[in-house]
Amino acid sequence: MHTRSIHTLLFALVVVCMSTASFAQIGVAITIGPPALPVYEQPFCPGDGYIWTPGYWAYDYDIDDYYWVPGTWVLAPEVGFLWTPGYWGWGGDRFLFHEGYWGPHVGFYGGINYGFGYFGLGYEGGRWDDGHFFYNRAVTNVNITNIHNVYNTSVSETMVNRISYNGGNGGINVRPRPEEESAEHERHIAPVAAQTQHMQEARNDPQQRAAVNMGRPAVAATARAGEFKGRDVVPAKEAGAPYTPATRGGNQGRTNNNVTRPNAPVHPHDLAPVERTSLPSTGNPKQDQKYRQQQEQMLAKQQTERDKLQQKQEQEHQQLAHQNASEQRKQQVEQRHQQQTQQLQQKHQQQQQQFQQRVQQRSSPRK
């Protein structure tokens, strides 16, 4: 038997052992949806190409509480891409979070009225036209002294409420339309590094926790991702509704009852394949070819780093199997592997975003 096959078999045995241990634990579930969406104003857009990503309640399983991730402006990772916000939905016995994504069309986001163009159906805050993003001043806060790509179209909100989740007791009762289901199957880009860091910053700030701010966070929105201090930070005017503490269900039995968390990669092979995003034209064919070659070199290097980390983690799995390690030790290693993988993913996302921005800055404007 080849060495690689032995490694794969040992790795599978370790995963089976860990899965058996996790299913044997007493599980709990989030049975109360997130607080209502707070009332706040939108900060000024910092520049061309930035798209509004609305604030939302995330959940911290370490402290068993929701925390507010402020709304913020994020530079689109690719020309023509729009943001589909994430949302909470009732999964039959608990609330589950559906992560947002970038794509050519806005998909389903639970019918949640996040405001500022995201009124539950599509996006009315702006549109792409000939390689440039134009902002609808009727629903977005844009300084026309700095940004000239604007228009003004009134929009009627179909659902005026502060409900922050779909389904369940008191949730929004909306199902995806055919065009939204189609958008789910298009090419997507996961939240960029700036968004991931922004969420982590919110998670680390105790003042963002619902139990502390009672549904009225001190930092409700920011002009730029990750900036939680300064004049461009916007506090909530008020909570969207009276605050109800989040609770989890009790004993759910001893089978198939592990805690439901947002899916997160544990090992490099769990990550989505590396995608080649289209690059804007600089107007110089030789320069465009040079950038494409640089992109290929960057992606090849990233894939090599993934492969090396995967190989290293498989070796550690093999060592655990030989040592007959305890379940606690195996879980500790898996947690470390997850942290390593997510750090590598964030590093690669940041590299790709910085490269995309560098090319955009040197691209000739289209007329």
Residue 337, pLDDT > 60, answer yes
pTM for this structure? 0.63
Please give the residue that has the higher pLDDT: either 18 or 360.
360
Q: With bands split at pLDDT 50, 70 and 90, how would you rate the model's confidence at 247?
A: low
* Segment of 124-133, 154-163, 280-289 carrying the highest mean pLDDT: 124-133
Of 196, 342, 364, the closest CA to residue 287 belongs to 364
Task: Give me the amino acid identity at 4.
Answer: R
Mean pLDDT score, 150-166: 84
Task: Identify which has the larger pLDDT, 315 or 335.
Answer: 315
pLDDT at 293 over 80: yes
Give me the chain's average pLDDT, please: 82
User: In the chain, where do the E strands start and end?
Assistant: 50-53, 56-60, 65-69, 71-75, 82-84, 87-90, 95-98, 101-103, 126-129, 132-136, 150-151, 165-166, 221-224, 233-234
Sign of CA dihedral 183, 189, 193, 194: negative
What's residue 264's pLDDT? 59
Query: What is the reported pLDDT for 319?
Result: 85
Q: What is the mean pLDDT of residues 18-31?
A: 41
Report the distance separating Cα 163 and Cα 161, nearest Å.
6
What is the chain's length? 367
Task: Give percent of the chain above pLDDT 90.
Answer: 48
For position 134, what pLDDT does the model report? 97
- The 3-state DSSP class for residue 269 equals helix
